[in-house]
Structure 1
Amino acid sequence: MGYRISRRGLLNGAAGVAAAGTLAGCAMGGDDDTESDAKGEVSAANPLGVKEDAPLEVVIFNGGFGEEYAKAHEAMYQERYPKAEIKHSSTQKIAETLQPRFVAGDPPDVVNNSGGSQIDFNGLVSQGALTDLGELLDAPSLDDPAKKVRDTLLPGIVDVGSYDGKFLSLNYAYSAYGVWYSRKLFESKGWQYPKTWDEMIALCKKIKAAGIAPWTYPGKHSRYMSWPILAAAGKLGGIEVIKAIDNLEPNAWKHEAVRAAAEAYYQLAVDGFLQPGAEGMDHVQSQTEWCRGHAAFVSCGSWLENEQKSVTPPDFRMAVAPTPSLTTSDKMPFEAFRGTGSEPFIVPTKGKNVRGGLEYLRVMLSQQGASDFTRKVSSLTCVKGAGAGIELGPGLASVTGLIEASKGTAFTWLYSSYYRKLERERVDAACAELYTKRINAAQWCEQVQKSADEFAQDPAVKKYKRA
């Protein structure tokens, strides 16, 4: 089995996003038979009917998690099916690499459709390019045949991967989003993480006085700073505020909770609490500045620890916390945070080995497959209990503490999955202007709402409804 090794990549690809959007306008190639010809005999040991000698092609996004974890999963698959030849490749540019193959009707069997150059799910779904993973959910788990795969998954994983009631995308990693800081820095300065916005501003003044930038952010990917705005808005106004945004409802982005949250984070720019020069940085550059102690806070997801492992000082002790509460009457508690599945895996309908693709995901969802992923990349998976007994790094240990403290109040939004370009292009651009003070919070709400309205009114954009 040959591997093409790529260096650990960056989440990069504005050009790829633009390219990805064209898929919706292209007819999928191939004939009308979307079922793979590679079929084997169904049995207790082979519930998905995998053809044991059918080749399997896997393409991995080589980003923050790298590709080594996938090689371990492939080895597990090959142990079960030793006659199967596995072709592995990785790329930072999923859309540029694979979009022509989808159009030609010759996609791989498994795709990690992630990163800045992800193929737009809206196009894939509307063209019927993705296999319904419902059969996988109802298959017996690899560890316990008496338990279905669906019963091994964390809550919300099926929701975030479902479109029009069909489970089409397995978001394998479980990502917690929040505000990150260094426990070492905070303890050395006697600082406490702020639970309210007033406390945040007061602490930012102290941090700036100490000669450290209170916040840094990736100006080239400014949407990272939309995450705390939406998290704060959801906590202030409740989940219905988030659902209205997901459903492209009129004036959803101009809700008073969204406006209040945008004004709070705009204050960071107005008061000079953002690191000078951050507007020109990408995510790795800004995160590296944070790791070097040049800034106290950064907004990111729980892949941060793995992504920064080569530059993080041994005693840095990174930690994550929820966004501060905006008021004393927020509808959600301070401990509520955005938590959701990420790192989507798909099985194309036109793959030559659909059965094998489903089985590969079943292998990934085993306790062995999931715990191995956590050990290799310092990220939790969507599999219940798979992180138990594993020695976790400071960042991931902090994430598990965040999850436990939330007591089931974690929430997420889906608009960025339903309408990827709305976040990756429009919200991203609006945030770039907000944090450089070219527009204010009210104008930010207006600008993003106008973009959301365009998506809502565009007949070429497939719409989804979140209940």
Structure 2
Amino acid sequence: MGHTISRRGLLQGAAGVAAASTLAGCAMGGDDAEDDAKGETSASNPLGVKEDAPLEVVIFNGGFGEEYAKAHEAMYRQRHPQAEIKHSATQQIAETLQPRFVAGDPPDVVNNSGGSQIDFNGLVSQGALADLGELLDAPSLDDPDTKVRDTLLPGIVDVGSYDGKFLSLNYAYSAYGIWYSQKLFEAKGWAYPRTWDDMIALCKQIKAAGIAPWTYPGKHARYMSWPILAAAGKMGGLDVIKAIDNLEPNAWKHDAVKAAAEAYYQLAVDGYLQPGAEGMDHVQSQTEWCRGKAAFVSCGSWLENEQKAVTPPDFRMAVAPTPSLTTSDKMPYEAFRGTGSEPFVVPSKGKNVRGGLEYLRVMLSRQGAADFTRKVSSLTCVRGSSEGIDLGPGLTSVTGLIDASKGTAFTWLYSSYYRKLERERVDAASAELYAKRITAAQWCDKIQKSADEFAQDPAIKKYKRA
């Protein structure tokens, strides 16, 4: 996966390997600690930043690099010229910062990302993160009459909330859906299917044309659990997703989940999956797709950047929502899974918590967000911040997806709360499903059994999604 880990639902990586056990066993101070640096609040300084308080920012130096952060720091310095800013970047977030959290001497802003991110469950349970609620209610940098919370895309607050507190700002925005080549579809006279019946009918045509209808990464088969859950949520409503997030009994056996699993299992049964995909990783399957060997692939909006080295210049990749399963789905066809990634936190024991909140407010300005998109070819969680920027075909399609959804985007949080449930159990069950080693009903049973194990394990901290 290499550097691309920073772009794929990083809050889902809620377990920082070795960091988890160490953090869980070390008290790091509660979130009721008052920061040392606090200044006077005013219209121009609503969060009460102490003007000469130093600010320390630590960035995960992954796929997005660190240059975007230097631009944000320059914006902060313009607003608070007396503040000295200490910037550093590392790929070893947990190894570098875990001892500092334990010692009560963390930085003021941390981009807690990458394969070595610090375990969120440990940070949350120890009260090591400042509540960002005050940031949400502060006026945005661009319009004093608009709160920061009203500038964010749907789902950003949900995915960064634990036990009802907003603790993590997931700055990048990932839209998930089914991807296809506009060039191929126009050449063949195909239209993207809005219903599942139309999908199966089109798959038949695609296969007859000598192209595999779908490819998928059999080594990371959870990619194909995403359209199942998206279709289930659209069919049965958000309560179906919330039941899964809350580890409720039989949540994975809901009629909508069963129907969605049966639908996507049909792709395997009817021979609509690319031969050999079972042994491919995500890059291999996506490369096959870029080469025109398959028509559809399930992925998130990092796909364009991840595949830029092998995508033909006239390929014109596009993304669409999962097709509606029935004519009476509770969500519209346009609804899709959209969520944040690339988490930023303000440690509660930082010396300049106010400055940390203000730094995030700077990041959430239209200038700060647009600069990020220009530098790293990724959307941010800020509404409309990509307007006027020359985007590639894929990201242009993503913005169209967001606009068409009219606020109906949704997401699930079980993969954030309980990373191993998705990364190990759902991943393994999905590999068996698409290889036809188990049926759709057995897939539901298998994952439900795993979810029950997590629910009953007293060592695993539980979260409740309202």
Name the TM-score, length of structure 1 as normaliser. 0.89
Query: 2:412 maps to which residue?
Result: 413
Paired with 1:217 and 1:113, the residues of 2 have a C-alpha distance of 29
Query: 2:58 maps to which residue?
Result: 59
Instruction: State the secondary structure of the residue aligned to 2:338.
Output: strand
Query: 1:254 maps to which residue?
Result: 253
Paired with 2:437 and 2:101, the residues of 1 have a C-alpha distance of 40
Moved more, 395-404 or 18-27: 18-27
Are residue 159 (structure 1) and residue 158 (structure 2) matched? yes
Query: 2:306 maps to which residue?
Result: 307
Paired with 1:382 and 1:148, the residues of 2 have a C-alpha distance of 14
Paired with 1:276 and 1:227, the residues of 2 have a C-alpha distance of 21
Paired with 1:291 and 1:68, the residues of 2 have a C-alpha distance of 29
Amino acid at match of 1:220: K
Question: Residue 264 of structure 1: CA displacement?
Answer: 1.8
Question: Residue 115 of structure 1: CA displacement?
Answer: 4.0
Question: Residue 271 of structure 1: CA displacement?
Answer: 3.1
Question: Residue 52 of structure 1: CA displacement?
Answer: 4.1
Question: Residue 366 of structure 1: CA displacement?
Answer: 0.8
Question: Residue 179 of structure 1: CA displacement?
Answer: 0.4
Task: Decide whether aligned partners of structure 1 residues 30 and 244 sit closer, same or farther in structure 2, where only a CA change above 3 A counts.
Answer: closer
Amino acid at match of 1:453: D
Instruction: State the secondary structure of the residue aligned to 2:339.
Output: strand
Paired with 2:19 and 2:326, the residues of 1 have a C-alpha distance of 40
Are residue 270 (structure 1) and residue 264 (structure 2) matched? no
Q: Is the 8 A contact 1:65 1:306 kept in 2?
A: no
Amino acid at match of 1:244: A
Query: 1:135 maps to which residue?
Result: 134
Amino acid at match of 1:315: D
Q: Is the 8 A contact 1:65 1:303 kept in 2?
A: no
Query: 2:178 maps to which residue?
Result: 179
Paired with 2:101 and 2:224, the residues of 1 have a C-alpha distance of 33
Write the mapping of 1:71-150 to structure 2, written as runs, cut at 5 A: 71-82=70-81, 83-91=83-91, 94-150=93-149
Question: Residue 23 of structure 1: CA displacement?
Answer: 5.0
Task: Decide whether aligned partners of structure 1 residues 314 and 180 sit closer, same or farther in structure 2, where only a CA change above 3 A counts.
Answer: same
Are residue 395 (structure 1) and residue 394 (structure 2) matched? yes
- CA deviations on 1:74-128 (whole Å, 9 max, x unpaired) are 222233344413322042x544554444334343322223344443322221111
Query: 1:4 maps to which residue?
Result: none
Paired with 1:55 and 1:441, the residues of 2 have a C-alpha distance of 56
Paired with 1:339 and 1:414, the residues of 2 have a C-alpha distance of 11
Amino acid at match of 1:87: H
Moved more, 446-455 or 334-343: 334-343
Amino acid at match of 2:398: V
Unmatched 5+ residue regions in structure 2? none
Give the % identical residues. Answer: 83
Q: Is the 8 A contact 1:178 1:337 kept in 2?
A: yes
Instruction: State the secondary structure of the residue aligned to 1:455.
Output: helix
Q: Is the 8 A contact 1:64 1:306 kept in 2?
A: no
Query: 1:365 maps to which residue?
Result: 364
- CA deviations on 1:235-261 (whole Å, 9 max, x unpaired) are 122222111111111000011211121
Paired with 1:435 and 1:97, the residues of 2 have a C-alpha distance of 40
- CA deviations on 1:307-362 (whole Å, 9 max, x unpaired) are 32333222111110011122233222222211223322111223333222212101
Paired with 1:25 and 1:178, the residues of 2 have a C-alpha distance of 36
Unmatched 5+ residue regions in structure 1? 1-6
- CA deviations on 1:261-285 (whole Å, 9 max, x unpaired) are 1122222233333333433433333
Amino acid at match of 1:436: A
Are residue 194 (structure 1) and residue 185 (structure 2) matched? no
Query: 1:3 maps to which residue?
Result: none
Query: 2:237 maps to which residue?
Result: 238
Are residue 440 (structure 1) and residue 444 (structure 2) matched? no
Question: Residue 163 of structure 1: CA displacement?
Answer: 1.7
Task: Decide whether aligned partners of structure 1 residues 115 and 200 sit closer, same or farther in structure 2, where only a CA change above 3 A counts.
Answer: farther
Paired with 1:187 and 1:248, the residues of 2 have a C-alpha distance of 43
Query: 2:286 maps to which residue?
Result: 287
Instruction: Give the RMSD, CA atoms, in angstroms.
Output: 2.8
Instruction: State the secondary structure of the residue aligned to 1:380.
Output: coil
Q: Is the 8 A contact 2:182 2:315 kept in 1?
A: yes
Moved more, 21-30 or 375-384: 21-30
Query: 1:322 maps to which residue?
Result: 321
Amino acid at match of 2:86: I
Q: Is the 8 A contact 2:234 2:332 kept in 1?
A: yes
Instruction: State the secondary structure of the residue aligned to 2:335.
Output: coil
Task: Decide whether aligned partners of structure 1 residues 338 and 165 sit closer, same or farther in structure 2, where only a CA change above 3 A counts.
Answer: same
Instruction: State the secondary structure of the residue aligned to 2:219.
Output: helix
Task: Decide whether aligned partners of structure 1 residues 245 and 146 sit closer, same or farther in structure 2, where only a CA change above 3 A counts.
Answer: same
Paired with 1:204 and 1:101, the residues of 2 have a C-alpha distance of 54
Moved more, 255-264 or 154-163: 154-163
Task: Decide whether aligned partners of structure 1 residues 166 and 31 sit closer, same or farther in structure 2, where only a CA change above 3 A counts.
Answer: closer
- Aligned residue pair count: 460
Paired with 2:335 and 2:53, the residues of 1 have a C-alpha distance of 46
